[in-house]
Amino acid sequence: MSVVQETILEIDLKALQHNFEYLKSTFHKETKTLAVVKAYGYGTSACKVAKQLEKLKVNYFAVAYTKEGVSLREVGIKTPILILHPQLVNIKTIIKYGLEPNIYSNRVLETFIKEFESENLKNYPIHIKFNTGLNRLGFSENDIDAILFKIQNSESVKIKSIFSHLAASEDLNEKTFSEDQIKTFKKITTQFILKLGYTPILHMTNTSGILNYPQAHFDMVRMGIGLYGFSNDVIHTKKLKNVATLKSVISQIHSIEKGKSVGYNRAFKADKLIRTATIPIGHADGIHRAFGNGVGYVTIHGQKASIIGNVCMDMIMVNITGMSCQEGDEVIIFDSQKTINDLAKKINSISYEILTAISQRVRRIVN
């Protein structure tokens, strides 16, 4: 591997493939697969991840917003793409790029049908979302007849799938709640399909739902964080491989005499002679400011060096007292699920946020 000369995020597509195959081994062969590649593929590289998964014959992609779906189409992704949170302002772009909207309210349904009809479209694929307890997006059970009325009075739409989302699939203390959500989803979809006259794909689980609630797999499962190496428990996470490695380099080394300070607002003051290394990564790159003042750390030649003083926009300074390293040496911010989880815990966050925080300024290298 080449010597690191700047801050980079390395993406391991073999690890991604392993994770996809591992997750697939946990459900029936007939169950369809949907890969969630929103937020730049959880901070990695949505396009590269999607290309790899398309080769592996994933059945569906999902992203949160329209522009994320457009980016996938622009690199040649042909697999259907579900837009989880379409904004009505993007309706023409959705159609232009053949993206498939999540329809979650009467207002959204009416607007889409009107647009499809005015463009003379027939059987445009849409996805109906029901709220079963997350209380974020989705129709309620009481909306069934109104939805059906609108859909059966128009030839413009075809329901490709009906779905819902678990609120606490990772939390086994909420097992009863999750099971109630599953029951509600079954009840709603049974009624709905009976009146609709054809059977769309049903799906409900995210990664932790896949692992914790096999009874909720239905026809398709939605894999997000698991593809990138994480699950809600240690046992599964150990079977998954880390996909993203964040590396940097030592820009400069300073000796700080007793009584001198380091960084903005003089947040760190040396009580003895220390050595610091300046690293070219800051809060604008995704190193949350909460990691300052000893909370976060990096690893240099296998040794932990804690962040001292405040995190700057473009840099951090770390304590390398007693360590043998020099300018130009490699610095690991994270290279394992363990470190990512550990860093997340230190700032009361989760792996999802650590990964998606890595800003687009950081160069991605796909291996």
Ligand X SMILES: *Cc1c(COP(=O)(O)O)cnc(C)c1O
Whose Cβ is closer to ligand X: residue 251's or residue 356's? Answer: 356
DSSP element (H, E) containing 69: helix 66-74
Nearest residue to 177 via CA among 133, 119, 128: 133
User: Among 8, 9, 36, 281, which residue interacts with ligand X (rule: CB under 6 A)?
Assistant: 36
Specify whether the CB–CB gap between 268 and 259 falls below 8 A: no
Question: Judged by CB, which is closer to ligand X: 156, or 170?
Answer: 170
Spot the catalytic one: 264, 269, 338, 345.
264
Q: 177 vs 332, which CB is nearer to ligand X?
A: 177
Output the CA–CA distances (angstroms, integers) from residue 68 to 35, 59, 74, 166, 332, in the order listed: 13, 18, 10, 23, 29
Report in angstroms how near the CB of residue 355 gets to ligand X at its nearest: 10
Q: CB burial class (10 A; 0-12, 13-18, 19+) of residue 254?
A: middle
**From candidates 48, 127, 165, 241, binder to ligand X by CB under 6 A:** 165
Residue 187 CA: distances (Å) to CA of 105, 139, 180, 208, 307? 19, 14, 10, 22, 53
**Closer residue to ligand X (CB): 156 or 169:** 169
Q: Give the x/- contact pattern for ligand X in 52-91, rule: CB under 6 A.
A: --------------------------------x-------
Find the catalytic residue in 38, 48, 241, 247. 38
Write down the least CB distance from residue 107 to ligand X, Å.
19
The residue number with the shortest CB distance to ligand X is 224
Task: Give residues with Cβ within 8 angstroms of 52, minimum separation 6.
Answer: 13, 16, 17
Question: What is the total count of residues that contact ligand X (CB under 6 A)?
Answer: 12
35: left (phi over 0), alpha (psi -120 to 50) or beta: beta
Torsional sign, CA 14, 66, 8, 311: negative
Which string of x and - marks every residue 196-235 that binds ligand X (by CB under 6 A)?
Answer: ----------xxx-------------xxxxx---------
The verdict on whether 129 is a catalytic residue reads: no
Q: How far is the CB of 222 from ligand X (least distance, A)?
A: 4
Question: Residue 38: in which H helix or E strand, if any?
Answer: helix 38-42
Does the annotation count 40 as an active-site position? Answer: no
Spatial separation of the C-alpha atoms in residues 219 and 55, rounded to whole Å: 21
Q: Does residue 270 bind ligand X (CB under 6 A)?
A: no
**Residues taking part in catalysis:** 38, 264
The residues binding ligand X (CB under 6 A) are 36, 38, 84, 165, 206-208, 222-226
